[in-house]
Structure 1
């Protein structure tokens, strides 16, 4: 057998996502390139690693065993690379961060310089819903999490990062003869909510309850991108973080409705378990955030913080 580390990495990813297309996207390779490497890898075994049924890819039992072994091999190779870098005096290792979906508009800016300055640091960032983020933190599956609502049941430490401003938004075709919109004028509108547990949904529900607004028609979607596209299409109105709609506001696809008590404000926080034994890489990242967060915020987010 003469398989390569590259083939092991490709097959490991295919086994994880159960799709050549998704694997190619996540590995930043073309689909034909991934397919060729998969075929070359399979040709070295007498038993099938996968099968395709009704155009869907399934990993065989033998394939699962090979994928598990590939994971261990690649982890060991990474360890060799990290140890080599450490002996050269470089910061090396992995950092895992779990963030809620709206945080994807902010967290990359807090990571960019740190990753560029430390080329031997590998980053895994899981973008998911609030419940999954908290579960990942609770199960010690990540080093840090970025949330706007602090989980009460966990003993955590935190760094307050920046404000998160939320506005009521509508499509460009939403019409009103009034300069100042009133929420009561929207009784016939469809309200678009995030899923239960979302901090954005919680803020929206609190506002509607405070102002005694009865929601007659509503829709529930599980991501901010889905909410944004639904509003742009004219399906309804919603509350969204402004940092996620910058381009749409500039292009005129969305408009902010001038309502009382807006914007709603929460705070983004970088949190970690108090009992967590942070790695050298995690400690270095925490130090980077403490020392540079104000400059990052001023440079990248002044456009909406001053709004």
Structure 2
């Protein structure tokens, strides 16, 4: 057996993505290079690791066993590298963070300076829905999570980062007539909602119920980007987080429609299980956030004050 760590890395990525093309993109390699390494790796085994049925790549049972072993080997290699850097006085290790979908407009700004300064930190970010974020916290799969609504069922510590403001948003193809009651929007046009369980949807529904507003026409979309494009196209109106529509407001594709009781204001929070034994990397990051959050907000989110 003369397989290399590089081949193990490539094979593991192929099993994770079930595609040579996607693996090559994720590893920043050409597709032929990945195919060649997969063949060289396969040639060292008498049992098939993968098979192609139609145009779909499948991993065999034996392949999954090898992938599991490859992951363990690569994790041990990472641990050796981290220990080496730690002995040199450098911060090294993995930092895992789960982020609710709207939080992708926030979290990178609170990470870039830290990771640029600490080259030995491997960052893993999972951008997903609120339910998956809560599950990752419950299962102790991440160091931190970014949420705008703190799950009450968990015993969490938190650092409050910045405001999350939600406004009534419309497109600009047909300019909103200020002489018409804004309640007519909710009664006349479709209202666009995020999927059930989304924090944005929960905030929107709570607000509308409190205002005794019914929305007879409803359309549901499963991502903020899809929701934003639908509003721009004139499909309907929505209550959306300001954080994700900066460019569209500046370009004149979207407009904020003033409405009593808006904006809805919550806060972005970095949270973690109180019982969690944070790693040295996680502790270093937590210290960084506490010290630098005000500077980061001032440098990157000053535009909030315009709205």
- Shared fold per TM-score greater than 0.5: yes
- Conserved? CA contact 1:184–1:213, under 8 Å: no
Distance 2:243 2:29 in 1: 30
Partner in structure 1 of residue 208 of structure 2: 208
- Conserved? CA contact 1:171–1:255, under 8 Å: yes
Q: 1:305 to 1:138 in 2, by over 3 A?
A: farther
Partner in structure 1 of residue 152 of structure 2: 152
| Root mean square deviation, CA, Å | 1.6
Partner in structure 1 of residue 296 of structure 2: 296
Give the aligned length. 307
Structure 1 residue 134: Cα displacement? 0.6
- Conserved? CA contact 2:186–2:214, under 8 Å: no
After superposition, the C-alpha distances for 1:29-49 in whole angstroms (9 at most, x for unaligned) are 333433333233223323221
Q: Structure 1: give runs of 5+ residues left out of the alignment.
A: none
TM-score normalised by length of structure 2 = 0.95
Structure 1 residue 164: Cα displacement? 0.6
Aligned pair 1:71/2:67, yes or no?
A: no
Partner in structure 2 of residue 55 of structure 1: 55
Partner in structure 1 of residue 252 of structure 2: 252
Q: 1:57 to 1:167 in 2, by over 3 A?
A: same
- Higher mean displacement: 98-107 or 227-236: 227-236
Q: Structure 2: give runs of 5+ residues left out of the alignment.
A: none
Q: 1:117 to 1:212 in 2, by over 3 A?
A: same
Partner in structure 2 of residue 10 of structure 1: 10
TM-score normalised by length of structure 1 = 0.95
Distance 1:33 1:21 in 2: 11
Partner in structure 1 of residue 269 of structure 2: 269
Matches within 5 A, 1:93-242: 93-178=93-178, 182-242=182-242
Distance 2:165 2:119 in 1: 33
Partner in structure 1 of residue 29 of structure 2: 29
Where has structure 1 moved over 4 Å in runs of 4 or more? none
Distance 1:180 1:29 in 2: 56
* SS of residue in 2 equivalent to 1:187: helix
* SS of residue in 1 equivalent to 2:163: strand
